[in-house]
Amino acid sequence: MPRAVLGAQSVPEAALSVTEVSKRLGVSASTLRTWERRYGVGPEERAAGAHRRYLPDDVERLRAMIGLVRSGMPTGQAAAAVHADRARPDRSAPVRPAELRVMAESGEACALQELLESAVSEYGLVHTWSRFVAPALQEIRSGSDGEVPGGSPSRVLMCAFEHVLQAVHRSRPRRPAQVPARIVVMSDAIHEMGAQVVGVALTWYGFDVRILSSERYGGVCAAERFTAHSASHEVDLVVVMGRGGTCEEFVTTIADRSDVNILLVGADTPEILSQNVQRVRT
């Protein structure tokens, strides 16, 4: 997928007090003052006698240092690493899922969204999801400490990524006025976000995409839902993201009832023998 440039979502350059930064990052104000005095990690600009005011870049450096310290690195080495990173060319996009996890755990939704936008611009949407966001979610959800109700890091990350998905969809190229091929993406609950990513990526290539749930809701099963949709819309391709016996059942039903082409996506999709069904692992 082409790399979307999302420049309209930048975070305002609001300066924060040491108390506000302390609350956001979960580190005491006295510790932040000590780090500034001892290691030089603090506000970049500060007038003599004035209160500390942290700009977004200052907060990002502190967040990076906190992540290193929490990973087991001695404080002095973490500070040196942060200073060394500043000397390198600017890199705003994440390269490790752990970076996203630390930001999500800190509750920095706006900064997290900005970082994800940079990643999409540099690496593309599908790569950002599969290499950064999905592994970060797995790291968060596999932890044994549990999540605090109302402040779930996984939800913080998911919501930030959903905002980026919306922005990518809005910025898709406009195609010539012609009837595009319609693709229906069907997924179970566990693959919902992946289905959204695939759907948005396909719209960038000019396809008319709709996403249908393959779960049973309101007494309606997946095959019935697709039949109702295809009765009023011509469908050229069905992309299925799911697993297990339920997925196999509704795909087999759709293949038996229609001649529409079906593409199973994912290593955990069932293997179905049908001339209309193909399967790709990634």
- Tens-binned pLDDT, residue by residue, of the chain (282 aa): 556 555 444 333 457 889 989 988 889 999 999 999 898 898 876 544 456 788 888 888 898 899 888 888 899 988 888 888 765 545 555 458 988 998 898 888 888 998 898 889 888 999 999 999 999 999 999 988 888 787 789 999 999 999 999 999 988 877 766 778 899 999 999 999 999 999 999 998 889 999 999 999 989 999 999 999 999 999 999 999 988 888 889 899 999 999 999 999 988 888 888 888 988 876
The answer to whether the Cα torsion of 71, 73, 76, 82 is positive or negative is negative
Report the C-alpha gap between 118 and 115 in whole angstroms.
Answer: 5
pLDDT at 9: 40
User: What superfamily in CATH does domain 182-280 come from?
Assistant: Response regulator (3.40.50.2300)
133, two tokens: 């966001």
CATH architecture of 1-171: Orthogonal Bundle (1.10)
**Axis-axis angle for helices 97-106, 109-123 (nearest 10):** 160
Tell me the domain boundaries of the chain.
Answer: 1-171, 182-280
- What is the spatial order of strands in the sheet that 182-187 belongs to? 208-213, 182-187, 237-241, 261-265, 277-280
Q: Indicate if the alpha-carbon torsion angle 193, 185, 247, 280 is positive or negative.
A: negative
CA-CA distance, 221 to 224, in Å (whole number)? 5
Closest CA to 119 of 9, 241, 267, 282: 9
Q: What is the pTM of this model?
A: 0.66
- Copy the structure tokens of residue 282: 């990634």
* DSSP-assigned letters across all residues of 181-229: PEEEEEE-GGGHHHHHHHHHHHHTTT-EEEEEE-S-BTTB-HHHHHHHH
Contact 105, 153 (CB under 8 A): yes
- Give pLDDT, residue 194: 94
One-letter amino acid for residue 166 of the chain:
Q
